[in-house]
Amino acid sequence: MQLSPHFTLEEMVVSQTAARRGIDNMPPAPAVGALKTLCVEVLEPVRTHFGRPVVVSSGYRGPELNRAIGGASSSQHCKGEAADITVPGIHVLDVAQWIQRNLRYDQLIYEFGRWVHVSYRHGRLRQHDLTARIAKGRTQYVAGLRA
């Protein structure tokens, strides 16, 4: 199922963990709608600007998959509102900063210098920016996008 010109439902639900454990990660209709909005409002503009594919490492996560990977129970991934992305050949912080300056979003997290978590919640866009780092063996979130 095509969610937008360059993104399919299949790539937004793929998970190595789900495949290994036999977890059905197909979303309910409301999450499919949220994924479509995320693709149209955020992922397509990122792809257009950089002129390169956007690689989704984590999109929708059903409850069973989210538990299996130790995700937060309140994760926007579980509602189809979030994706973790990279753009090959573009530094992750550059992607995050471009999104911050040019798009509307709910939450933007520059995670561990390796990927960008971006969410879009229809009707409620906080423009909340964070950087996730490991400090003393624990994940620490600090306000803003920081190298």
Q: Over 90: is that where the pLDDT of 147 sits?
A: no
**What six digits make up the tokens of 134?**
């490991």
Are the CB atoms for 98 and 46 separated by under 8 Å?
yes
Q: What is the pLDDT of residues 94-132, one digit of tens each?
A: 999 999 999 999 999 999 999 999 999 988 899 999 999
**pTM of the model as a whole:** 0.94
**∠ CA(72), CA(27), CA(69), 5° rounding?**
30
To which residue do tokens 């990122």 refer?
46
Topology (CATH level 3) of domain 2-143:
Muramoyl-pentapeptide Carboxypeptidase; domain 2 (3.30.1380)
| pLDDT (0 to 100) of residue 61 | 97
